[in-house]
């Protein structure tokens, strides 16, 4: 009996201690996690903010940080070094777990903390090479500039000061405790990797692989027609030329894809498609524009910017103002990096959108059958370089990964045809120094000069200054290939290599245009006359509806104000709908649904049933036009993935009074008298519209009921802000929201989790500086600053971007003092 009792006590104790020390299944080690004094409960202490004096290693002089009512950090330092040290400290104080996730993602170390489910992502990242590039940027020649080196080192010191402090005081963010690990010290390379994460999200693309699959299955003629280099629909390029005359883009032969290339493309495409969202760029959606002083009601230049990204809690942005001898700048930064990316200083304001030009190229390598580790390049055999990595896996064995590297870049697949990828994001760059230079620029010339060394991702940088000037430059690397068809995988033997970039003076740019407005929304920046290839219409550039709508609004003649900028940023008018609905109404029989469309203002508002009818109609039209082709040709690419390009084509033919016929043709055309020829030609279009309308109304009746007035957009379209650690209980939403993929207030997908990640409006005439982002300054879900800005953002409101002095006297402000 005593033995049994003793054995039972041992078993019970071992069980309790095991789950407490080690955890079980999805449970973390319960002991440290739920220690009420040092475990996850410390997020209550972390969420309380009061006056503080901290002593930090590495500081040269005292730094004052004012946290205003919404947590914006206003840092006043006596040296530039201390400024960046303090930025590192506040970033780590409020976003350390986010920073750790970002560096782990780029360095292929997620599996170490979350287990095998992150292994594909880790393998891919180590193959692609953000870590290799960051190491070259930091350790290679010429290495970072003195300015960037000082900023990154000081920033690193600030992050590590906070890590040491948090570990000593048991104040690490709760997610570390719950996942059972401690953050490693921050390094300069980590900051460069975090910058690389953003480059990859915005710029690394699988489009040439997709184009290869489309060309193989649909045939070269249809692929060229539906997915052309130049957009088939009406566009609003911001830089209409004139352009330099010299290199011309010759018409290229129709693409031919071999079977081995198609196998390789399919393998790489499927592999990339299975990665977590955000690792591969899938089209952009950001807006920015500027209005010169001559066109504004205040007499000063106006600037508006709203970059659209995956909307997460915490957000990708951290808002701050920086004041030191060398810097006076306010705006948003990315935790993990020391510079302000979007904002204003005393003289200039700027924002950015993704420029979308092609920076990813795939090469089919010719390998030596006798020596599998050799490939042919410029007439000789070369050995692949290799890089080996250990990937620690939580709860599993460490995996060894060897990456093969050709002259073009890493091998991405060896199935069918060994394929490598050349990506501009893998060129060591001075991008962080560029950002610091931009933060310090005082006029257009300095701004433009600072951006000269910007590589990737290519951005449309919009500019407005305190003298009434405006400008835009799509700075970045514009790879030029010697030959071939760069939108498809190209032969790797050397004749189609990237041999340079478009000269800086010839990239898209304008300064003080005559009509006093500049705009970008990921559209193709230039007309068909631009002499260099910069990417295809499909999947690189946006279809252009947001740009067209912004251009339409800004061109209306009246003087514009900051309030007009805010109204346009939150406008939901769908330009495509304004083109297509009038065509639809010509064939739609009288009905309540038709009445709703006929009186609609093309705005995708929550309470609009017409918005639902239009959207459903357009999706149905695309499906009815192209699904028969997809089925007949067994296209191995999800058709909905190509909806932007297919919609562009369908829009262009519908505007021309025609439609897309199915593989078997549109049927026999009636014989028409010559005077009715035009009407006659519209018969297939009218039939297609009629079929799509009937299907639309049937679908909506089945799903939303018989009364069209109740088919409001908010019933089908919602938005969610997702927790960065994918904890759904910490999401915001889903909640009905307005907008769609084509509206200035972008809200693609159902539910939408992508959209305006930061809205900023500047009016130099009235001294108005306003901004808002969805989220809050703290990653701590128990903090009042976790999601306190969401409702303001959702309702289209803005908060003033205060200076440090204004913040210090604002209600609810708290001051910290950092001392050596």
Partner 1 sequence: MTAGRILAIALIAVSVIGAIGLFVGAWWIVFVIGLAVGIALPARGAIIFSALFSLAVYVEPLLRDHLIYGLGPTATSLAAIMGYPHQPAIPIVLTCALGLLLGLAGAWLGSASRAFFQPAITR
Q: Which residues bind partner 1 (CB under 8 A)?
A: 2-3, 5-6, 8-10, 12-13, 16-17, 20-21, 30-32, 34-41, 43-45, 47-48, 170, 174, 178, 727, 729-730, 780-783
Beta carbon nearer to partner 1, 552 or 735: 735
Phi, psi (degrees; rounded to nearest 5) at 225 = -75, -45
Task: Pick the closer one to partner 1 by CB: 17 or 164.
Answer: 17
Spatial distance between the Cα atoms of 801 and 437, rounded to a whole number of angstroms: 21
The partner residues of 738 in beta bridges, in order of sequence, read none
From the CB of 714, what's the least distance to partner 1, in Å? 23
Structure tokens at 59: 């500081």
Q: What's the closest the beta carbon of residue 509 comes to partner 1, in angstroms?
A: 47
Nearer to partner 1, 45 or 591 (CB): 45
- Spatial distance between the Cα atoms of 183 and 119, rounded to a whole number of angstroms: 20
Rounded least distance, CB 720 to partner 1, Å = 14
**How would you class 25 by CB atoms within 10 Å of its CB: exposed for 0-12, middle for 13-18, buried for 19 or more?**
exposed
- Name the residue nearer to partner 1 (CB basis): 35 or 814: 35
CB of 497 to partner 1, least distance (A): 50
The residues with which 313 forms a beta bridge, in sequence order, are 723
Q: Please tell me whether the peptide bond between 58 and the residue prior to it is cis, using omega within 30 degrees of 0.
A: no
CB of 38 to partner 1, least distance (A): 5
Give 182 or 346: the residue with its C-beta nearer to partner 1.
182
From start to end of 482-543, where are the E strands? 490-491, 498-501, 509-511, 517-520
3 state SS of 412: strand
Provide the edge-to-edge strand list for the sheet that holds 759-763. 517-520, 287-291, 302-306, 759-763, 768-772, 799-800
Contact criterion met (CB below 8 Å) for 383 and 404? no
Indicate the residue among 149 and 170 with the shorter CB distance to partner 1: 170
Which CB, 17 or 656, lies closer to partner 1?
Answer: 17
3-state secondary structure of 660: coil
Quick one: 12 or 750, whose CB is closer to partner 1? 12
Asked if 743 and 752 count as a contact pair (C-beta separation under 8 A), the reply is no
Residue closer to partner 1, measured from CB, 2 or 400: 2
Nearest approach, Cβ of residue 107 and partner 1 (Å): 25
Inter-helix orientation angle 80-107/146-168, to 10°: 80
The least distance separating partner 1 from the CB of residue 30, rounded to whole angstroms, comes to 6
Collapse the DSSP code of 326 into the 3-class scheme (helix H, G, I; strand E, B; otherwise coil) and give the result.
coil
Closer Cβ to partner 1, 40 or 393, answer by number = 40
Q: Which one, 421 or 790, has the nearer CB to partner 1?
A: 790
The residue written with tokens 């001294």 in the block is 767
Phi–psi pair at 811, nearest 5 degrees:
-65, 140
- 3-state helix, strand, coil split of the chain in percent (to 5) is 40, 20, 40
Shortest gap between Cβ of 46 and partner 1 (angstroms)? 9
CB of 183 to partner 1, least distance (A): 16
Closest CA to 483 of 472, 471, 497, 493: 497
Q: How far is the CB of 20 from partner 1 (least distance, A)?
A: 7
Rounded Cα distance between 569 and 564, Å, is 9
Q: How many CB atoms lie within 10 A of CB 745?
A: 24
Name which of 8 and 706 has its Cβ closer to partner 1: 8
In sequence order, the β-bridge partners of residue 723 are 313
Least separation in angstroms between residue 3's CB and partner 1 is 7
Pick from 434, 427, 412, 430: nearest CA to 500? 427
Cβ-based nearer residue to partner 1, 37 or 558: 37
User: Taking phi first (over 0 means left), then psi (-120 to 50 degrees means alpha), and beta for anything else, what does residue 497 get?
Assistant: beta
Minimum CB separation of residue 313 from partner 1 in Å reads 11
Residue 207's Cβ-count burial label (10 Å; 0-12, 13-18, 19+) is: buried
Query: Closest CB to partner 1 among 3 and 369?
Result: 3
Please give the sequence-ordered ranges of beta strands (E in DSSP) within 378-429, or none if there are none: 380-383, 385-391, 399-405, 411-413, 419-423
- Closer residue to partner 1 in complex, CB, 407/730: 730
CB nearer to partner 1: give 45 or 750.
45
Residue 617: asked if its preceding bond is cis (omega within 30°), the reply is no
Whose tokens are 């631009």? That residue is 530
Q: Residue 55's beta-bridge partner residues? A: 819
Q: Provide the angle, in degrees to the nearest 10, between the axes of the packed helices 575-585 and 683-704.
A: 110
Q: Are strands 73-76 and 318-323 parallel, antiparallel or unpaired?
A: parallel
Q: Which CB, 15 or 528, lies closer to partner 1?
A: 15
What is the closest distance, in whole angstroms, from the C-beta atom of residue 725 to partner 1 in the complex? 8
Q: Is the peptide bond before 142 cis (omega within 30 degrees of 0)?
A: yes
**Distance between CA atoms of 366 and 261, rounded to whole angstroms?**
11
Kindly tell me which of 52 and 529 has the beta carbon lying closer to partner 1.
Answer: 52
CB atoms within 10 A of CB 168: 8
What whole-number distance in Å separates Cα of residue 86 and Cα of residue 389? Answer: 34
CB 624 within 8 A of CB 646: no
What six digits make up the tokens of 148? 């960037």
- Closest separation between CB of residue 777 and partner 1, Å? 15
Q: What would the two tokens of residue 259 be?
A: 């079977």
Report the distance separating Cα 546 and Cα 578, nearest Å: 12
CB of 780 to partner 1, least distance (A): 8
Least distance in angstroms from the C-beta of 612 to partner 1: 30
| Residue 174: CB minimum distance to partner 1, A | 7
CB of 37 to partner 1, least distance (A): 4
């Amino acid at each position: 009996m005593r033995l049994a009792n003793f054995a039972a006590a041992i078993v019970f104790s071992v069980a309790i201690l095991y789950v407490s020390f080690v955890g079980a299944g999805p449970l973390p080690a319960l002991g440290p996690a739920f220690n009420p004094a040092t475990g996850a409960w410390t997020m209550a202490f972390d969420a309380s903010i009061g006056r503080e004096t901290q002593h930090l290693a590495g500081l040269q002089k005292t730094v004052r940080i004012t946290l205003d009512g919404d947590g914006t950090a206003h840092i006043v330092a006596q040296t530039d070094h201390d400024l960046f040290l303090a930025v590192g400290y506040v970033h780590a104080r409020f976003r350390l777990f986010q920073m750790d996730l970002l560096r782990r993602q780029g360095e292929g170390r997620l599996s170490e903390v979350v287990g095998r489910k992150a292994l594909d992502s880790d393998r891919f990242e180590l193959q692609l090479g953000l870590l290799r590039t960051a190491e070259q940027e930091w350790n290679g020649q010429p290495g970072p500039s003195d300015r960037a080196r000082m900023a990154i080192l000081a920033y690193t010191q600030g992050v590590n000061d906070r890590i040491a402090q948090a570990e000593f005081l048991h104040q690490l963010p709760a997610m570390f405790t719950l996942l059972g690990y401690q953050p490693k010290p921050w390094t300069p390379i980590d900051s460069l990797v975090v910058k690389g994460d953003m480059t990859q999200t915005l710029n690394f693309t699988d489009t040439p692989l997709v184009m290869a699959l489309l060309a193989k299955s649909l045939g070269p003629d249809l692929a060229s027609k539906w997915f052309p280099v130049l957009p088939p629909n009406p566009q609003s390029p911001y830089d209409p030329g004139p352009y330099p005359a010299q290199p011309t883009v010759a018409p290229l032969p129709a693409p031919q894809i071999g079977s081995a290339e198609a196998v390789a493309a399919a393998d790489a495409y499927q592999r990339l498609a299975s990665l977590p969202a955000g690792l591969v760029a899938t089209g952009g959606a950001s807006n920015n524009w500027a209005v010169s002083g001559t066109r504004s009601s205040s007499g000063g230049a106006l600037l508006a910017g709203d970059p659209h990204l995956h909307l997460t809690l915490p957000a990708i942005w951290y808002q701050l103002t920086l004041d030191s001898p060398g810097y006076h700048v306010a705006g948003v930064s990315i935790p993990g990096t020391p510079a302000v990316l979007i904002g204003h200083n005393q003289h200039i304001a700027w924002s950015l959108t993704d420029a979308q030009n092609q920076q990813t190229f795939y090469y089919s390598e010719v390998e030596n059958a006798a020596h599998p580790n050799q490939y042919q390049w410029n007439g000789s055999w070369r050995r692949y370089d290799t890089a080996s990595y250990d990937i620690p896996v939580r709860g599993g064995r460490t995996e060894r990964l060897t990456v093969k590297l050709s002259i073009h870049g890493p091998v991405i697949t060896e199935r069918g045809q060994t394929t490598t990828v050349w990506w501009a994001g893998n060129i060591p760059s001075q991008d962080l120094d560029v950002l610091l230079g931009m933060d310090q620029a005082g006029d257009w010339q300095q701004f433009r000069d600072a951006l000269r060394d910007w590589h990737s991702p290519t951005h449309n940088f919009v500019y407005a200054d305190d003298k009434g000037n405006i400008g835009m430059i799509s700075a970045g690397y514009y790879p030029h290939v010697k030959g071939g068809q760069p939108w498809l995988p190209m032969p790797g033997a050397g004749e189609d290599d990237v041999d340079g970039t478009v000269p800086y003076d010839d990239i898209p740019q304008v300064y003080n245009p005559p009509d006093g407005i500049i705009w970008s929304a990921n559209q193709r920046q230039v007309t068909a006359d631009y002499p260099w290839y910069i990417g295809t219409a499909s999947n690189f550039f946006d279809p252009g509806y947001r740009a067209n709508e912004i251009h339409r609004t800004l061109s209306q003649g009246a003087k514009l104000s900051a309030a007009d900028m805010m109204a346009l940023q939150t406008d939901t008018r769908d330009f495509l709908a304004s083109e297509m609905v009038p065509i639809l109404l010509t064939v739609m029989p009288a009905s309540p649904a038709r009445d709703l469309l006929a009186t609609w203002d093309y705005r995708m508002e929550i309470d609009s049933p017409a918005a639902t009818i239009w959207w459903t109609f357009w999706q149905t039209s695309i499906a009815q036009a192209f699904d028969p082709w997809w089925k007949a040709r067994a296209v191995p690419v999800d058709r909905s993935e190509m909806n932007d390009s297919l919609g562009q084509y369908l829009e262009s033919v519908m505007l021309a009074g025609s439609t897309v016929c199915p593989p078997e043709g549109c049927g026999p055309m009636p014989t028409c008298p010559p005077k009715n020829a035009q009407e006659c030609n519209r018969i297939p279009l009218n039939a297609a519209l009629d079929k799509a309308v009937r299907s639309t109304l049937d679908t909506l009746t089945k799903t939303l009921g018989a009364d069209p007035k109740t088919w409001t957009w908010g019933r089908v379209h919602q938005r969610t802000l997702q927790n960065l650690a994918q904890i759904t209980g910490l999401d915001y939403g889903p909640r009905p929201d307005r907008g769609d993929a084509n509206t200035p207030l972008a809200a693609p997908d159902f539910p939408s989790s992508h959209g305006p990640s930061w809205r900023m409006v500047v009016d130099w005439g009235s001294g108005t500086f306003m901004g808002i982002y969805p989220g809050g300054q703290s990653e701590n879900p128990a903090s009042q600053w976790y999601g306190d800005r969401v409702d303001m953002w959702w309702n289209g409101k803005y908060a003033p971007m205060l200076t440090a002095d204004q913040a210090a006297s604002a209600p609810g402000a708290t001051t910290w003092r950092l001392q050596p």
